[in-house]
């Protein structure tokens, strides 16, 4: 049975906004007395009313947060800016203390929180490696044993004896991650700081985190806005929102809910009794839903086929009605458009009645991420759009399987709007 590496119990962290004191005892007493009587600040200058309301207010960066991390587990921490992610990691790294609650940590921690943390700027890269190792409780002999491996991983051999204050942010991160990952801490904490590095180095870092967890049994806490990296690297995820735990559980499920939370569209829409349903006097949309393997597909495994099922009603005969679907990435880039070219209906008018059209997209086609669907019904020759419903539904594509996909063993983000698994052939031509 795995032991608990990190235990967080009812942890809260409050910050006081603005200035606390007025500068003199007389001013502080006068302000306290005015506040007690419900009067305005006697030392307030004109135009500072809004600022004054903020003075002394408390902001809770974390509010009653509790969770546990098992030894050897990789926990992803996600949430929007200001959700409390960095505050949590700083408390775990003992950079700051909680206002209330307690944490229990078993093992040494190496933290990579932000550029500039943990290194002495006047010391060289080599000296900082020994300094960090000493902080972790390692002997000089243990550090020397890892030194060449750290320097090689960082790829800054030519600058290892240069003071780190002269490093670029990218060089700083390279060395900081190499030190944190190779000096054998039981717990490795990595914040979004890896975004400073280039794509190739990010790939190395993700691979290293995978290795220290799976092969060495070390615990990793990983904060990132790259949801694809979280789902690939982490078994579990913690979603923070406004300082509180929104959801904690299996990484694919938590990340899918997080992505869905940023969009008002879901994987199913029904317009009951035609109430405000998209359409005109010829046709009306009644429902649209995403399915995979016969089940609703708000979360779509990247290998699974997708069915988009559209129910629409022809209100009167006489028009050739052709439904079409448009797929978009989360940033609005169009992926592709597809029309219903069923041989029985593409050239003749549809009589009155309820119709269903199902579009099927094969597995291993979409890239990971949130995808929205626009649905429309048109007539061609002459061209006429009967209705369009932007953002009709949405679903999230997740690479959750350990089977063969176009990703292979790479753990980072793969660019592109599609990710087909294409055939390949390899043969030895000569020895």
Give the residue among 329, 339, 352, 316 at the shortest CA–CA distance from 385: 339
Give me the residues of the chain with pLDDT under 70, please.
1-2, 17-57, 112-118, 136, 183, 192-203, 215, 228, 260-265, 273-275, 400-403, 409-413
The answer to whether the CB of 203 falls within 8 A of the CB of 411 is yes
**Contact call for residues 281 and 417 (beta carbons, < 8 A):** no
Boundaries of domain holding 284:
268-398
Based on the domain organization, do 295 and 374 belong to the same domain? yes
Query: Is residue 291, in this structure, part of any structural domain at all?
Result: yes
Q: β-strand 74-78 against 219-223: which pairing, if any? A: parallel
- Predicted pLDDT of residue 214: 72
154 and 28 within one domain: no
Based on the domain organization, do 108 and 241 belong to the same domain? yes
pLDDT of residue 21: 47
Domain annotation covers residue 48:
yes
Last residue of a domain, one of 236, 261, 286: 261
Domain-located, residue 429: no
Report the CATH number at residue 292.
2.70.50.60
Task: Give the pLDDT of residue 48.
Answer: 43
Same domain, 285 and 385: yes
Contacts of 96 (CB under 8 A, 6+ apart): 13, 87, 90
Which CATH number covers residue 78? 3.40.50.300
Same domain, 220 and 319: no
Q: How many helices (H) and strands (E) does the chain have?
A: 9, 19
Are residues 391 and 276 both part of a single domain? yes
Domain match, 320 and 394 both? yes
**230 in Cβ contact with 78 (< 8 Å):** yes
Quick one: how far is CA 359 from the chain centroid? Answer: 29
Contact at 8 Å (CB) between 367 and 416? yes
Between CA 162 and CA 152 the distance in angstroms is 16
Residue 425 falls within a domain, yes or no? Answer: no
Domain boundary among 195, 226, 261: 261
Last residue of a domain, which of 261, 284, 313?
261
Are 248 and 287 found together in one domain? Answer: no
Q: Which of 387, 408, 181 is nearest to 278 (CA)?
A: 387
Residue 422 belongs to some domain of the structure: no
Same domain, 296 and 394: yes
Among 262, 175, 258, residue whose Cα is nearest residue 224: 258
| Structural domain contains residue 346 | yes
Pairing mode, strands 268-270 and 283-292: antiparallel
C-beta separation of 272 from 336 below 8 A:
no
330 shares a domain with 228: no
Give the total number of structural domains in the chain: 3
Q: Which two tokens stand for residue 139?
A: 């002997």
Count the alpha carbons within 13 Å of 298 in the hemisphere toward its beta carbon. 17
Asked if 127 and 101 sit in the same domain, the reply is yes
Q: Tell whether 183 is covered by a domain.
A: yes
Question: Does 22 share its domain with 78?
Answer: no
69 domain residue, yes or no = yes
Q: What is the pLDDT of residues 384-421, one digit of tens each?
A: 889 989 889 998 888 765 567 777 766 666 788 899 98
């Amino acid at each position: 049975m795995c032991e608990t590496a990190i235990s967080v119990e009812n942890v809260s962290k409050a910050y006081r906004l603005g200035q606390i004191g007025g500068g003199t005892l007389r001013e502080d007493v006068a302000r306290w007395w005015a506040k007690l009587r419900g009067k305005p600040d006697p030392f307030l200058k004109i135009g500072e009313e809004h600022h004054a309301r903020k003075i002394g207010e408390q902001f809770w960066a974390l509010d009653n947060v509790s969770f546990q991390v098992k030894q050897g587990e990789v926990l992803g921490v996600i949430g929007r800016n200001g959700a409390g992610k960095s505050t949590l990691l700083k408390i775990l790294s003992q950079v700051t203390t909680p206002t209330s609650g307690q944490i229990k940590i078993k093992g040494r921690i190496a933290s990579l929180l932000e550029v500039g943390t943990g290194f002495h700027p006047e010391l060289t890269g080599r000296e900082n490696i020994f300094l960090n190792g000493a902080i972790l409780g390692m002997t000089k002999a243990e550090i020397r044993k890892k030194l060449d491996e750290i320097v090689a991983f960082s790829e800054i051999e030519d600058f290892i004896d240069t003071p780190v204050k002269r490093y670029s942010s990218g060089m700083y991160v390279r060395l900081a991650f190499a030190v944190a990952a190779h000096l054998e801490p039981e717990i490795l904490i990595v914040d979004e700081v890896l975004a400073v590095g280039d794509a190739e180095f990010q790939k190395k870092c993700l691979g290293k985190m995978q290795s220290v967890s799976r092969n060495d049994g070390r615990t990793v806490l990983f904060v990132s806005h790259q949801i694809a990296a979280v789902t690939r690297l982490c078994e579990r995820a913690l979603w923070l929102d406004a300082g509180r735990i929104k959801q904690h559980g299996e990484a694919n499920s938590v990340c899918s809910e997080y992505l869905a939370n940023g969009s008002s569209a879901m994987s199913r829409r029904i317009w009951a009794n035609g109430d405000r349903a998209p359409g005109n006097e010829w046709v009306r949309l009644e429902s649209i839903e995403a399915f995979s393997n016969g089940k609703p597909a708000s979360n779509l495994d990247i290998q699974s086929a997708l069915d988009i099922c559209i129910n629409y009603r022809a209100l009167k005969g006489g028009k050739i009605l052709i439904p079409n679907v448009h797929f978009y990435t989360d940033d609005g880039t169009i992926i592709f458009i597809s029309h219903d070219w069923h041989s029985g209906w593409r050239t003749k008018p549809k009589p009155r009645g309820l119709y269903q059209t199902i579009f099927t997209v094969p597995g291993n086609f979409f890239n990971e991420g949130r995808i929205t669907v626009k649905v429309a019904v048109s007539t061609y020759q002459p061209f006429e759009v009967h209705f369009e419903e932007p953002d009709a539904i949405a679903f999230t594509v997740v690479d959750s399987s350990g089977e063969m996909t176009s990703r292979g063993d790479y753990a980072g983000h793969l660019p592109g709007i599609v990710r087909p698994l294409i055939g390949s052939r390899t043969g030895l031509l000569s020895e």
